[in-house]
Amino acid sequence: MLIFLCYTEIKAYPENFEDYDIIFVGYPNWWGTMPMCMFTLLEKYDLNGKTIIPFCTNEGSGMGASEHDLKSICKGATIKTGLSVHGAESAEAESQVTVWAKKSV
């Protein structure tokens, strides 16, 4: 399992990407979808056959168009239903995230 978190810039690329089948993709909702750096990161890889599990913080737009956009750019991947967390409540969301993450894999 691999976790991609991306916000304003890509700090590092994972090693041995091909060894991972399940990828959690986390980001804030910006302008109704993922920040541009997440598009850049995901477009770098062949995601055919991978399972993508998105989660995002936001201030009311939920996942926005991000799940739709993930389906467009992650060719051949399975995109699971994402978890939307209200940004202001994210510090208290640990148990919600834990339950969701366990159910998702």
Ligand X SMILES: Cc1cc2nc3c(=O)[nH]c(=O)nc-3n(C[C@H](O)[C@H](O)[C@H](O)COP(=O)(O)O)c2cc1C
List residues near ligand X by CB under 6 A: 28-32, 57-61, 87
**Shortest gap between Cβ of 104 and ligand X (angstroms)?**
20
Closer CB to ligand X, residue 13 or residue 31? 31
**Shortest gap between Cβ of 83 and ligand X (angstroms)?**
12
Which ranges of 5-61 would DSSP assign to H, the alpha helix? 36-43
Please give the Cα distance from 47 to 37 (Å, whole number): 17
Q: Using alpha carbons, list the distances in angstroms from residue 16 to 8, 23, 45, 75.
A: 23, 13, 11, 20
Closer CB to ligand X, residue 57 or residue 78? 57
Closer CB to ligand X, residue 6 or residue 79? 6
Which residue from 64, 58, 54, 63 is spatially nearest to 97, judged by alpha carbons?
Answer: 54
**Shortest gap between Cβ of 7 and ligand X (angstroms)?**
7
Residue nearest to ligand X (CB): 87
